[in-house]
Amino acid sequence: MVFKDRMEAANLLAEKLKTYKDKNAVILAIPRGGVPLGYVIAKELNLPLEVVLSKKIGHPMHKEFAIGAVTLKTQILSDAASQVSKSYVAEETEKIRALLKKRYQEYYGEKSPLVLKDKILIIVDDGIATGNTMMSTIEMLYKEQPEKIVVAIPVSPKSTLQKLKNLSFIDEVICLSAPSNFQSVGQFYKNFDQVNDTEVKFLLNK
């Protein structure tokens, strides 16, 4: 299944998420690519839209290899973090938080984040590959004690989808397509333009 663009994918997901319309739920979009989808879905379901700001902590020797992740409030570390000095983890966490704070202010100004406790969280992205960032993000959101966690994505490899479904703190996974020939998210969109911060801010303000 190839989507025309993020809008088409968002409309198809909104259709599958109809049961959550007007409920005590929040659409949480993963920036930047997930924000245009989140905007469409939030509008269709009449729900508030927030962005999930989180960033991985890279291994000191291989920055691409994640040893954990950080949000503005929480942190999660993988087993690999035990081989890295605590001071490195603390420094990286501080650096990442400063970056996330700056990004939060850029997106929201002085507005404070929504309270997620006891709410249904619908996490939206334009697709996932390995799912590692998504999984650590969800684990951190779980600490906020929501009523339920739903993941809604247009496309994902079968193996990643299975990993998400096996996670005990995800209540529901909605995925429109799980192709076996998955190489990258972009291959399943005819138009997959980069989403920039200006667009994210515009959609959040709207």
| Contact of 66 with 56, CB cutoff 8 Å | yes
State CA 177 to chain mean position distance: 18
Asked if 122 and 84 sit in the same domain, the reply is no
State CA 129 to chain mean position distance: 12
> Side-chain half-sphere of 74: how many Cα atoms within 13 Å?
13
Asked if 96 and 11 sit in the same domain, the reply is no
Q: What is the pLDDT of residues 31-57, one digit of tens each?
A: 899 999 999 999 999 999 999 988 889
Please state the rounded mean pLDDT for residues 70-77: 85
Residue 134 placed within a domain: yes
Instruction: Look up the pTM and report it.
Output: 0.89
Asked if 18 and 95 sit in the same domain, the reply is no
Asked if 178 and 83 sit in the same domain, the reply is no
Alpha helices in the chain (DSSP H): 6-16, 34-45, 86-108, 132-142, 158-166, 197-205
**Residues written for the chain:** 206
Residue 80 predicted with pLDDT over 90: no
Asked if 70 and 13 sit in the same domain, the reply is no
Orientation angle between helical segments 6-16 and 34-45, nearest 10 degrees: 40
Asked if 195 and 143 sit in the same domain, the reply is yes
Q: What is the pLDDT of residues 154-206, one digit of tens each?
A: 999 999 999 999 999 999 999 999 999 999 999 999 999 999 999 999 998 88
Among residues 70, 92, 108, the one where a domain terminates is 108
Between CA 8 and CA 173 the distance in angstroms is 19
pLDDT, residue 61, reads 92
pLDDT, residue 34, reads 96
Among residues 43, 73, 108, the one where a domain terminates is 108
Residue 80 placed within a domain: yes
Cis status of the peptide bond prior to 6, with omega within 30 of 0: no
Domain that holds residue 88: 55-108
Q: Which residue has the tokens 């966490």?
A: 93
Residue 159 placed within a domain: yes
pLDDT, residue 76, reads 85
Q: Which residue has the tokens 């979009």?
A: 29
Asked if 85 and 177 sit in the same domain, the reply is no
Asked if 124 and 163 sit in the same domain, the reply is yes
- The CATH number that applies at residue 86 is 3.30.1310.20
Total number of domains in the chain: 2
Asked if 133 and 181 sit in the same domain, the reply is yes
Please state the rounded mean pLDDT for residues 83-87: 94
Q: What is the pLDDT of residues 93-140, one digit of tens each?
A: 999 999 999 988 988 888 888 889 999 999 999 999 988 778 888 988
Residues pairing with 75 in the sheet? 70
pLDDT, residue 206, reads 85
pLDDT, residue 27, reads 97
The one-letter amino acid code at 190 reads K
- The CATH number that applies at residue 145 is 3.40.50.2020
